[in-house]
Amino acid sequence: MSRPTLWSTADMDEDLADAVDAELSLYAQQGQNPAIYDQLGAQIEQLEPLLAIQQHMAALAAVPDVVKSFIVSFHQAILNRDLPSITIFYTTTFPKLTDRFYSRTEWPEPEIIAPLLSSNEATEDQIHIFLVLYRDLYYRHVYSRLHPNIDDRFHSYENSCELFNYLLNSPSSADDNSDEPAPVDLVLPEQWLWDIIDEFIYQFQVFCSWRSKVKSKTGDELMMLADGTGVWSSYSVLNVLYSLIQKSKINEFIVALKEEQGKEGARSAEEVAKSISPYTALPLYRTLGYFSVLGLLRVHVLLGDFTLALKVMDQVGEFLLGGSGFGAKANKSSFTALPTLPATHISTHYYVGFCYMMLRRYPDAIRTFVTVLNFSQRMQRMRNYSGYERKDQYDQIAKTADRTLALYAMCHSLVLPGSPFTRLDDNITSTAKERYGDQMGRMSKGGSDALAAFEELFLYACPKFINANSPPYDDPDAIALLLSADPTEPAEGSPIPTDPTQRHLRLFLASAGAQSPLPTLRSFLHLYTSLTTEKLSSFLDLAKVSESDQETVEEAEEEAIQEMMVLKQNSRSLSRIVPAQGRSEKGNEASPAGLTVIGTLLEGEMISTSDLNFVIDDNTIHIAESTVGRRYAGWFIKNTERSQRVLDEIRGSPLPVFKGKVGQKQGAPGTVALGAESVATNDSAEAAQKKAPTKTVAWGGAGTRTTLDA
Amino acid sequence: MSASWISPPTRTELIENLVSGVDRYNPSNVGILEDYLYHQIRSQEYDCLANLAILKLYQFNSDLYNPDVVVNILIKALGASPLPDFNLCISLLDERSPNATLDEPDPLPALLPVLHGLHHLLYRCRFPAFWRAYRSDQLESLRDNYTVECAGFEDSIREVVIRAVKSTFTRIGTDRLGLYLDLDSPEELQAYVDKLGWTFNSEGTVVSIPPNPDNQIEAVVVQESIKLPQLTKVISQAARP
């Protein structure tokens, strides 16, 4: 049955060769080409079913024992609903075994390992659902490590549908005579649930971009695509996500929780969930529903619908990242009823921020990016974040964070220099300058060079946009037309590039391009408190050389005035967060206390984004600049609190054993300084400075403590 | 202003349910939304999200595609500048298969560059250039077939102008304003300016624009304001015995 001549072991990973013996290589040979294997299998099955079974048996025998026992225990853990074990198997064991045995080949096919499961006391249904889950892992592995072929793409879709169908439409097992669907009794770790949704959308996106490349398809693939137009259709993907959201009633759950928050004797999240529906009561469905909302955000962005993407976040939006509200910091009470995974935060903020960028709401975009970049920097510092021992996952997060940083760099340039929003977080800005300094320099200069830099960063950092519809594979004539089309010939006069990424890029560049003269204009205004429009136009060199020509001069002046209106227009923006005291306190954004947040993600009010304001009085421009006074109080508060922490730490530490003689007198001055510090607020800086020397003497033995307590 | 953009007061409950619910994906509702668009065109209303819902349906169901509707949506979106509505609409116009079954040749490919150009002029506040382009011979078909049907199209563009002028100027030359608004005759301009509540100077050469938050400038020194909650930690520490 195997054809050793066709397959050479050279294809195999060298590391693998150490660990694996001839048995495994037998499996690897089969696994490498499932298409041929399937064909072969199908033929044999028709002729001699027995042979197929023997084949499976042989393949099973080839599976390493470690893997076999892993599968059996994994199945057992899921049967026992043993969440800690499932989590370990999922996040640690599976990736480890993958690295060891399957870094270049597929895991054993579900049909092969199926016999291992029947030895358990599991019912047929339970075995079936384990195989569906196993297949989910199997295909995810194919997508991430190998090259999925058309069969993999179709089958992974079918498997996902089967999984979601099981979750959504399983008949109630309690009383068999009702056809009403009931929640299934399954426990899976949050990370896995996130991966299920995330991977579902990822595979959809990969399929769409693969599908849109008509020319590279083989005859067989064309035929299968013509038959399978429903596979990975946008409607089916949206249907899954909306169904999960509706089934779990996640939005209703959140609304109810919000109502509960302010009340006396509020019910717990569990109680609230139970009162909504039997599905909502289960963490599995709540989590899936919540992740589906986030998934929907992503799907809408991929399809280019940025408003709808933000709209689906209406309810859940303010609870992400411990209630950071995308930089708004409105809801400090952390919301433990919803799962928090680093991957979720980073991906969601990335998509929300991108939407804001495409809506030209740069202040909101910047806030969103700053929140998540701070988060990811913290995460990088603790590299071994629990659950992220897996390098591939960590890399994925790091990559998204890097693309977010690129988007931040773009928005930083788009809010115009001198805007308070460029100073929102100096730490992130300097990180961005380190990473994208060259592009940021070019973007802030304006002109065509700036556009090239914007294009470069956009193409690197943008989501992988997709077309909602398949090319007309079911229409042979149309496909023939597409196949015969000359690739070098540009689409006839079409202003909209057919590739969705190009389309969004053009729109973005048109917006960014309209701003490109503004940095220069602003730098001139910066120097004056008033000047005439005529003078401005002469600075801008719009009149070229022929200044004697009256008409040209006037034209140049008109041009300058129109550009001023663009500047005005671009120094205002919709923002979700507005200064609480109204417009008089522009530029006060840095202090969170004076801000109010407006409703849902789509809402907002016009604010000024610039510290340079101007107005044209007939032909004279008046300019006023807002400056930020030095901030003392924040510094003092921060340091007072820090000194207090140090003091508390010192107080909490055990007293050291003294060997030499230390006079009680020495302790006294330290005591005074510390005691004074805990009372004084304004003199805290002084206190903080005194702290350093007193630290060493504060260990003044038992006497110190008694004096302090007194 | 954003609230009325998300949900215009003129939107009916039926449309609200379509825009906010899952029913927006149901192809059989496209007629209702298209009727609503034509209602907007006749009665000078504007509902961006409802129009985006039409484009969304076209995106998923290419057989529903109606180029006239798309052009009308884009024309309505022009009046929303400098908000990004026009770009949002374009974002949803997916690739079309070359032989889409239409009775007549698709006018959209020819009109799109034109509309793009107009939008670009508006977004860059090139108002005189916009009017020149709009009145040019090349755009005759756009005017005769589309904008003429759209009640108050020119006024909606004038509102774009007014928004820009109002926030940038305290006083503006009458000639310049006339040029921006494409109102050549003094009487028309007079009537328009009166309607806005703006005033001419005695010679009639300069129009004064009443103060609004955007055309009042003030050099502000932003001082930090400390709120009590920021001091809670410090105070509670101080209160500790």
Report the b/e string of B33-72 with b at 16+ CB within 10 A.
bbebbeebbeeebbbbbbbbbbbbbbbbbbebbebebbbb
Mean pLDDT of A671-676: 42
Which chain B residues are closer than 8 Å to A463 by Cβ? none
Name the least confident of A188-197, A390-399, A601-610: A390-399
Chain B residues 130-169 with a CB less than 8 Å from chain A:
164-165, 167-169
Chain A residues 630-669 with a CB less than 8 Å from chain B:
631-634, 637, 640-641, 644
Does residue B133 register a pLDDT over 80? yes
Candidates B110, B170, B222; nearest CB to A626 = B222
Inter-chain CB proximity B222 and A622 less than 8 Å: no
Provide the CA A482 distance to its chain's centre, in angstroms. 36
Q: How far apart are CA A157 and CA A179, in angstroms?
A: 26
Are residues B139 and B194 located together in one domain of the fold? no
Inter-chain CB proximity A627 and B221 less than 8 Å: yes
Mean pLDDT of A679-687: 44
Assigned domain for B229 exists? yes
Shortest CA distance from A590: residue in chain B: B224
Are residues B241 and B137 located together in one domain of the fold? no
The boundaries of the domain holding residue B50 are 1-152
Are residues B148 and B206 located together in one domain of the fold? no
Which chain A residues are closer than 8 Å to B1 by Cβ? 605-606
Last residue of a domain, one of B124, B152, B180: B152
Phi, psi at A103, each rounded to 5°:
-70, -20
Residue-wise DSSP of A610-675: -SEEEEEETTEEEEEE-EEPPP-HHHHHHHHHHHHHHHHHHHHSPPPPP-S---HHHHHHHHHHHH
Does residue A518 register a pLDDT over 90? no
Inter-chain CB proximity B240 and A678 less than 8 Å: yes
- Residues A22-75 pLDDT 10s: 333 333 333 444 444 455 445 544 555 566 667 777 777 778 888 888 888 888
Mean pLDDT of B52-58: 92
Does residue A586 register a pLDDT over 60? no
pLDDT band at residue A329 using 50, 70 and 90 as cut-offs: very low
Are residues B148 and B175 located together in one domain of the fold? no
Are residues B38 and B122 located together in one domain of the fold? yes
Mean pLDDT of A520-525: 84
Assigned domain for B161 exists? no
Chain A residues 345-374 with a CB less than 8 Å from chain B:
358-360
Q: How many CB contacts within 8 angstroms connect chain A with chain B?
A: 222
Assigned domain for B227 exists? yes
- Residues A425-440 pLDDT 10s: 788 888 899 999 999 8
Residue A460, token pair as written in the block: 């690197």
- Whether the CB-CB separation of A449 and A516 falls below 8 Å is answered with no
Q: How far apart are CA A373 and CA A408, in angstroms?
A: 9
Give the minimum alpha-carbon distance from B209 to chain A in angstroms, rounded to a whole number.
Answer: 10
Inter-chain CB proximity B238 and A679 less than 8 Å: yes
DSSP H helical ranges for chain B: 2-6, 13-20, 30-43, 48-60, 67-78, 85-91, 108-123, 127-135, 140-142, 153-168, 174-181, 186-196, 228-239
Which chain B residues are closer than 8 Å to A308 by Cβ? 52, 56
Specify the CATH number for the domain of residue B4.
1.25.40.250
Are residues B24 and B107 located together in one domain of the fold? yes
Assigned domain for B159 exists? no
Last residue of a domain, one of B101, B118, B152: B152
Which chain B residues are closer than 8 Å to A360 by Cβ? 84
Inter-chain CB proximity B109 and A358 less than 8 Å: no
Are residues B210 and B104 located together in one domain of the fold? no
A230 in reach of chain B (CB within 8 A) = no
> How many domains is chain B partitioned into structurally?
2
Q: How do the domains of chain A map onto residue ranges?
A: 1-147, 339-486+496-512, 633-709
Chain B residues 88-117 with a CB less than 8 Å from chain A:
88, 90-95, 97-99, 109-110, 112-113, 116
Give the minimum alpha-carbon distance from B76 to chain A in angstroms, rounded to a whole number.
Answer: 17
User: In terms of DSSP bridges, do strands A577-579 and A595-597 run parallel, antiparallel, or are they unpaired?
Assistant: antiparallel
Mean pLDDT of A536-557: 68
Select from A213, A477, A618, A708 the residue whose CB has the most chain B CBs within 10 Å, as the one to mutate to test that interface: A618
The residue to which tokens 């700053």 are assigned? A370
A558 in reach of chain B (CB within 8 A) = yes
- Whether the CB-CB separation of A411 and A376 falls below 8 Å is answered with no
Instruction: Give the pLDDT confidence score for residue B161 in this predicted structure.
Output: 93
Q: How far apart are CA A428 and CA A472, in angstroms?
A: 46
Candidates B2, B99, B127; nearest CB to A604 = B2
Distances in Å between the Cα of A192 and the Cα atoms of A198, A203, A346 are 10, 16, 17
Are residues B2 and B60 located together in one domain of the fold? yes
Which chain B residues are closer than 8 Å to A606 by Cβ? 1
Instruction: Provide the whole-model pTM.
Output: 0.81
Candidates B1, B95, B230; nearest CB to A606 = B1
**Neighbour tally for A518: CB within 10 Å:** 21
Which chain B residues are closer than 8 Å to A595 by Cβ? none
- Residues B153-169 pLDDT 10s: 889 999 999 999 999 99
Instruction: Give the pLDDT confidence score for residue B37 in this predicted structure.
Output: 92
Give the minimum alpha-carbon distance from B65 to chain A in angstroms, rounded to a whole number.
Answer: 13
Are residues B132 and B37 located together in one domain of the fold? yes
Does residue A674 register a pLDDT over 60? no
